[in-house]
Amino acid sequence: MEKIAFLGLGRMGLPMARRLASGGYSLTVWNRTPGRVPEPVEGLVEVADPAAAVRGAGVVVTMLADPAALAAVARQISAELAPGTVWVDMSSVGPAAVAEVRDRLPDGVGLVDAPVLGSVGPAGTGGLTVLVGGGPEDVERVRPVLERLGRVVDCGGPGAGAALKLVAIGAIVGGVAVVGEALALAGSLGLPEELAEGVLAAGPLGGLVARARAVDADFPVRLAAKDLALAGGGPVLGAVRERLLAHPELAEQDLARWVDAVRAGG
């Protein structure tokens, strides 16, 4: 198993890195805020510099917050990537940001976009859905790494995984917002919450109701708003984003807590 550099140890990145290490991979890891690996973990070596992390790595994985963070890391590591290295960006940044990174790469370095669907729990157990775009040879090179993290969905050529992530997250966040508004409407009409929720859960909105009521997910409201901004889109998703931003006190809380606020009349 070749060496992996894993950059970005946030809510999702740290359990994903641990998952790879538990599968026998050797990882050099970096995070903008150091000390994210609080105790020794077999297979993980934390370093203070992203450029140092990628030296000698055959596969580089990034799991970063937004396009600005990805661009900043790209400026620091691109010159250190050796021919034959494949960079796997698993961040939710959209196809335009992925294309900008690709334009920075030295000759002989591949790039695969592989954002994920799923939350912190599945990140640590290999239960993510990995949306993969890239050249066939690059994708096949990193497929064993990605399969360790979850179910791989082949989306097409470069940028296709990043694009599908925006489509999927727009539908999920928008749908969760609709469920929140529907439950708020039920309350305003004097209907028992359990009755309305049960009827919605038994129909085609069942998965969205479960997400709206989740207690173990960790997808902050600010990241949901960021993803909707990247998606652009029409008036519905734009309105949902404005509603998310209307609750700055919930910025670091999971999306389900925003639904709680909406149901309570916020």
Domain assignment of residue 101, given as a range: 4-156
CATH number for 230: 1.10.1040.10
Catalytic site residue from 18, 102, 141, 165: 165
Are residues 131 and 198 both part of a single domain?
no
Percentage above 90 pLDDT, the chain = 91
Give the mean pLDDT of 71-93: 96
**Domains in the chain: how many in total?**
2
pLDDT for 263 beyond 90: no
Mean pLDDT score across all residues of the chain: 94
Residue 266: the pLDDT is 66
Q: Answer yes or no: pTM beyond 0.85.
A: yes
| 96-142 pLDDT, tens digit each | 999 999 998 999 999 999 999 999 999 999 999 999 999 999 999 99
Are residues 87 and 198 both part of a single domain?
no
Higher pLDDT, 113 or 41: 113
| 146-160 pLDDT, tens digit each | 999 999 999 999 999
Are residues 189 and 221 both part of a single domain?
yes
Are residues 122 and 175 both part of a single domain?
no
HEC readout, the chain: CCCEEEECCCCCHHHHHHHHHHCCCCEEEECCCCCCCCCCCCCEEECCCHHHHHCCCCEEEECCCCHHHHHHHHHHHHHHCCCCCEEEECCCCHHHHHHHHHHHCCCCCEEEECCEECCHHHHHHCCEEEEEECCHHHHHHHHHHHHHHEEEEEEECCCHHHHHHHHHHHHHHHHHHHHHHHHHHHHHCCCCHHHHHHHHHCCCCHHHHHHHCCCCCCCEHHHHHHHHHHHCCCHHHHHHHHHHHCCHHHCCCEHHHHHHHHHCCC
| 177-217 pLDDT, tens digit each | 999 999 999 999 999 999 999 999 999 999 999 999 999 89
Is 165 a known active-site residue? Answer: yes
| 13-31 pLDDT, tens digit each | 999 999 999 999 999 999 9
CATH number for 135: 3.40.50.720
Are residues 136 and 195 both part of a single domain?
no
